[in-house]
Structure formats: C-alpha cells, structure tokens
Amino acid sequence: MVNVIRSEIFKSLRSTYFRICLVGGSLFIAIAVLFIPQIANVAGFSIETRSDLSKIMPFVFTGACVALMIFFPIFTDIFKYNTLKNEPGSISLITTGKYLTALIFCLIFAAVFMASFTVTFFRLAPSPDTDKGLLAESLISFLATIPNYAAMIALIQLITIAAKNEIIAAIIYYYSFAQLFTVKLIMAGAMPEDMVILRHLTPIGEFYNLGDLRFSAVHITLSVVVGIVYAIVLHTMSRKYFMKRVMA
Amino acid sequence: MTDSLKAELFRCRKDKLLLFAFIFVTAGFIFMTFIAGFAEHNDRVTIFTSGNISQFCSIVKMAVFVLYFVWFQEYRYGTMKNLCMSETTKGQYFTAKFLTQIIVCIALMVWVLICFSLCLLTLEKGTGDTSPFIKEGLLILLRLSLFSVMEIAVIDLLFVITKNEIVSFLLFFIVLSNSGAYIAQLAEKAGIGGDRVYPLTIGGAYDTATTSAIPASDSIIFIVSVTARVLIIYTLTLLILRKEVNYEKKK
C-alpha cells in the first residue's frame, strides 16, 4: 500500500498540471482566506469583527468542495492512458492508494487554510462581545470538516470510476453539488422539516452547520461521524465497482 | 473545407460523448420539473416569473461545455501531427471544427426547446395568459444560443492555452463565470463604470441572455457585442494555433 501511495505521489508531482494546481490551489486558498472581508463585501456580507466570520464560513467550507475537482485526474489517469495493465499486482490496492493520495494532498490545502485563517482572524478587530476561544473553536470546526471532505473525495472517486471521463465526472459532480442547494431552497418553502434532515445527514449539510463556528461538542461529533460513515461507504462502493469492472 | 466539416460531423456521430450532452439536458429538465412540483406555486406562469428559468439555462450552459471534445480530440488522441500531413489548411481545419460545434449546438438548442415544451406541458396551466411568457422564453433561447456560441469560442481558447480538461472547466465555470461582479466592482472603483463593464464579462453576458423582459435595444446590443466577441476570441484562438502547428511542423 505504501508503495502504491508513493508511486501515486511521485506520478502526481511529476505532472506539470498537478504541480500547477497544487501551488495555484494553495495560493488561491491563501489569497481567498486572507481577503475574506473584501470578498465578502462584494458578495453582500459585512465582515468587520472576528465573530462576523461565522456569517461567511458556511460558504467558504462548501465552496472549497469545488476545489476538490483538481483531484479528478488522479482517479481518471488509468482510464485515460490505459495504464491499468501495468499494475496487475496491485489492482486491489489501486483504489485505496489513489484515495489516500488525494487525501494527503487535501491535507496540504487544509494546512494552508488553517494558517491563512489564523492570520485573517488576528487581522480583524476583536468583537465587542467576547471572542475568547473563538479561534480554537473555529479551528476545531475546520478539523471536523476534514472527514466530510474525505467523503466528498470518495464521492469524486466513485463518479470518476463510473464515468471514466474527467469532464463528464466534473459536470455530474459540479451540477449535483450546485443543485443540492437549489433543491434545499425550493423545498424550504414547502417542507422546512425535511430541509433540517438534509442539513444534518449529508456532508454538504455538515459544512453548512460547521461554518457556524460555535457548534457544540455533540454537533461536531455528529458531523465527524457523518463524514466518516459517508467516506467509508462511498469508498467501499468505489472499490467494489472498480473491482467489478476490472474483473469484467 | 466541406470535406473537413463532413469528417468532423461523422466523428461526432460516432462519439458517445455527444450523447451525454443530450441525456444531461433531458435528465436535468426532468429533475428541475420534478423539483418545481414541490414549490408552492408550480404552474406555467410561475416558472417564468420565479427565476426558475435560470436553473434550466444553467443546465444548457453546462451541457454546451461537453462540445469541447470536438476541439480537444486532437490533443487527447495525439492526432495533431496528422494536420501536418493533411492538405487542408489550418484555418479550414479548425474552422470546420468550430462550425461542427455550432451545428451540434443548434441541434442541442432544438432538443432543449422540445424538452422544455414537454416540461411545461406537465405543469399546471395556472392563472393568466402564458403567451407573452412563451414568446419571452423563445427570445431567451435565442440569446442563450448566441451565448452558447460564445461559450464554445471561449472554451476552445481555454483548451488551446491550457490543454487540460479540468483546468479549462474550472477556469470557465469558477473563474470566468463568477468574476463578473468583482470586475464590475473594480471598474466602479476605477471610475470606468461597473454597469458598463459588467455586460462585457462572461457572467454579465449570461445574465443578459437569461434575463426575461429586457428591452429590444439591449437585446440588439447583446447580439452585436456577443457576435463581435466570438469573432475576436476565435481569431485569437486561430493565431495561437497557427504558432503551435508551425512549431509541430518544425519538430
């Protein structure tokens, strides 16, 4: 397994596309987070104090899911270049190896985000009411999103294995992701109770909840559990589907 | 030129990826009509007045992106070298590709019209006269078709520059489609006038194309400006390609 991950990391870092995306993505995250108050201003939010950050964080957490699309090529390269035949000994490990590689790269983005967020936090004026412990709570909320991002990567892997084509997978992922909000908004008028369930039982809903930044320990635990369950289920589905296709 | 066009259309018929655009539109429209059923008012008039029409347009915008494959297959399959052996000129070859994309786009728009009409028929009639809305819907489709041609031209340019599918996708849908408001704000600060700059952006053009009941003068300005932009973008793409193919020939 370690060798598969090593080879995937080596392969990815050799790719110009991936290097540009990794550096560009990190820079994009750093700039976007460092200039959150200015960007929020354009979007119609006013971020002046530290406690105001909770207004924009749900959108930052959910918006970051789009950036995960740069991991599509990690999953589709075997189909694109027909290189599956080169690794007969490690076919069963390929899916997990690729998944863990994407997760490792995702953690680089997470580290950049946390560093930029801390700088932004201290750049903002302290809140008139207490903001004691807000930074720690914010970082804990962010750490709790990682299992949910892992679930999103597992979803990306499942879509790419099923679609075999980067753009088709990207359209399905982007559209279903964007439409989830529309569905929620349209359904909000008709059945708000169902919307509450949607918010609590999907990784995207959890991003929205965790963006509140002042969530209780119970809610954070629930979010982590939801993320882990989705990640395991979706990854197992990807593995099974991939093996079925290989065997076929 | 005609032979190149025929060859490209033949390739399109054989490629299954094209089918995805049509399936995506059909599935998207069915899904949107199903979702509209949950809204408090789900009649034919409300679908035009509630802003739901932009949701249908976003499906079309996404489906049009699939037409990238007509342009990208030379890079994907490494067949750009064949152009050096061919007697067809570069300009003719890529213009045939661009025309093929436009032809497929027109076919897609006809399919959109059929799907949307069927979706409307499944909704309740509602109160009020629907004929002005239907006329408005047709005008939106016309503007959207023109926007789609511009989308194709931009995508082709992005592919020629980046040579990567996902990067082009992210650049178009995340950066170019969403940066209109920020550019307009910057223009406002610079004293150029945000309202004048916004329609020139991709996001602004899309908004104008999908907004209902815009004045006729604005529609004409939109048509002229989009046509001009298509020509400029396509010329730019050809200039970049010319350098590229000359480089391949030298190699």
Model confidence pLDDT, tens digit, residues B220-230: 888 888 899 99
Reply yes or no on whether the pLDDT at A140 is more than 70: yes
B36 contacts in A (CB within 8 Å)? 186
- Given this model, what pLDDT does residue A190 score? 46
Could you give the CA distance from residue A2 to residue A104 in angstroms, rounded to a whole number? 13
Higher confidence at residue B68 or residue B231?
B231
Pick from B35, B31, B93, B41: nearest CA to B62: B31
Tokens 């924009």: give the residue: A56
Interchain CB distance below 8 Å, A179 and B31: yes
- Sequence-ordered alpha helix ranges (H) in chain A: 2-14, 16-34, 36-42, 53-67, 72-80, 91-123, 134-163, 166-190, 192-201, 203-210, 217-247
Tokens 């990807």: give the residue: A238
Reply yes or no on whether the pLDDT at A194 is more than 60: no
B39 contacts in A (CB within 8 Å)? 186, 189-190
Q: At A125, give phi and psi (nearest 5°).
A: -70, 145
pLDDT tens-digit readout, A52-84:
777 777 777 777 777 788 777 777 777 777 676
Average pLDDT over residues B191-213: 81
Residue A29: both structure tokens together: 């995250």
Supply the DSSP symbol for A127: P
Interchain CB distance below 8 Å, B165 and A183: no
Question: Is the CB of residue B175 less than 8 Å away from at least one CB of chain A?
Answer: no
Reply yes or no on whether the pLDDT at B251 is more than 80: no
Higher confidence at residue A2 or residue B107?
B107
pLDDT band at A189 (very low <50, low <70, confident <90, very high): very low
Vertex B98 angle, CA B97 and B99, to 5°: 90
Reply yes or no on whether the pLDDT at B246 is more than 70: no
Average pLDDT over residues B71-92: 71
Interchain CB distance below 8 Å, A167 and B62: no
Could you give the CA distance from residue A92 to residue B53 in angstroms, rounded to a whole number? 46
Reply yes or no on whether the pLDDT at B110 is more than 60: yes
What is the distance of C-alpha A230 from the center of its chain?
13
Q: Is A164 helix (H, G, I), strand (E, B) or coil?
A: coil
The share of chain B scoring above pLDDT 90, in percent, equals: 7
Higher confidence at residue B54 or residue A215?
B54
Mutation target among B18, B38, B53 for the A interface, most CBs of A within 10 A:
B38
B44 near B123, Cβ under 8 Å? yes
pLDDT tens-digit readout, A42-56:
767 777 777 777 777
Which of B 109-148 lie inside 8 A of A, CB atoms?
A: none
pLDDT tens-digit readout, A15-26:
787 888 888 888
Vertex A147 angle, CA A146 and A151, to 5°: 115
Mutation target among B57, B170, B171, B174 for the A interface, most CBs of A within 10 A:
B170
Which of B 23-82 lie inside 8 A of A, CB atoms?
A: 24, 28, 31, 35-36, 38-40, 55, 58-59, 62, 65-66, 68-69
Reply yes or no on whether the pLDDT at A192 is more than 80: no
Q: Give the chain A residue whose CA is nearest to the CA of B178.
A: A43
pLDDT band at A191 (very low <50, low <70, confident <90, very high): very low
The share of chain B scoring above pLDDT 70, in percent, equals: 83
Mutation target among B165, B168, B183, B188 for the A interface, most CBs of A within 10 A:
B165
- Given this model, what pLDDT does residue B181 score? 78
Q: Which of A71-80, A181-190, B26-35, B200-209 has the lowest mean pLDDT?
A: A181-190
Residue B28: both structure tokens together: 């998207």
